[in-house]
Amino acid sequence: MFQEIKDAVSTKEAASFYGLKIGRGGMACCPFHNDKHPSMKVDKRFHCFGCGADGDVINFVQQMFNLDAKQAAFKLIDDFRLNIDTKRKESRHEKNQRIRLQKERERKERIRVAYAEELQQFRLKMAEIYRTLHDWELDYEPTKEQWDIGNIDERYICAINNKDPVDCILEILDFGEDSEIYEEYKHREETITSYERKITTAERRAGERSGERASSDRGPERVVGKERQR
């Protein structure tokens, strides 16, 4: 009975039916915690990247209305007027087929959960990179005098060149279509490495320039000191 319900109604259909507003890419504000920005992905199943709520359409209705699994199943049957026989017993063949399909679903679920976790880690890392670039843009913005003489901090240059592309990636991860999200996910390691390298390079160059200026400032003092010794 449960499987027939899950085959007939997706979590996205049920969530929409019960009043959840679902935006582009299947993202919605999670109804299971105080969610101010969409953090729940809703499709055949649901997963919240904020509180970790996860499951199928029956689990969703359970949590939404504080029901047990059987009550949630009957609610879906009633609300969606599903033609499902709730009393028929399954045959041996049906039981074997159900077990086989259940094992296959469990295998796919393990893959899906691993994907969701890796995707969340990717998003967190890109958000961290974005915050660094955002802070650099504010902290190292050149004064008019620095603009005039071309004394611009490498970290500011890095920020203005890379903040918008990183923001675009985050926008896709939050609101993009599944195919767009997966395309970013496939290249996550090289994407993270690329931006981390740019940040490290900017920090190193800024440090080198700072050291050069400090050395230049101390240079005349050392010369004077040697002249005095002679």
d(CA 155, CA 201): 9
d(CA 60, CA 46): 8
With 80 as the cut, is the pLDDT of residue 114 above it?
yes
With 70 as the cut, is the pLDDT of residue 210 above it?
yes
**Taken in order 55, 56, 58, 63, is the CA torsion positive or negative?**
positive
DSSP H stretches of helix in 82-229? 92-139, 144-149, 154-175, 178-186, 188-229
pLDDT at residue 230, rounded to an integer: 36
Which tokens in the block code for residue 52? 């970790």
Which tokens in the block code for residue 148? 């005039």
DSSP result, 15-82: HHHTT----GGGEE--TTTT-SS--EEESSSEEETTT--EE-HHHHHHHHHT--HHHHHHHHHHHTT-
User: Helices 188-229 & 92-139, crossing angle to 10 degrees?
Assistant: 30
Q: Which fold has domain 2-88?
A: DNA Primase; Chain A (3.90.580)
H/E segment holding residue 2 = helix 2-8
The answer to pTM > 0.75 is no
With 80 as the cut, is the pLDDT of residue 87 above it?
no
pLDDT tens per residue, range 18-49: 999 998 889 999 999 998 889 999 999 999 99
pLDDT at residue 217, rounded to an integer: 58
pLDDT tens per residue, range 96-106: 887 888 888 88
d(CA 53, CA 49): 8
pLDDT at residue 218, rounded to an integer: 59
Q: What percent of the chain has pLDDT over 70?
A: 90
d(CA 30, CA 157): 38
Contact 48, 25 (CB under 8 A): no
With 50 as the cut, is the pLDDT of residue 222 above it?
no
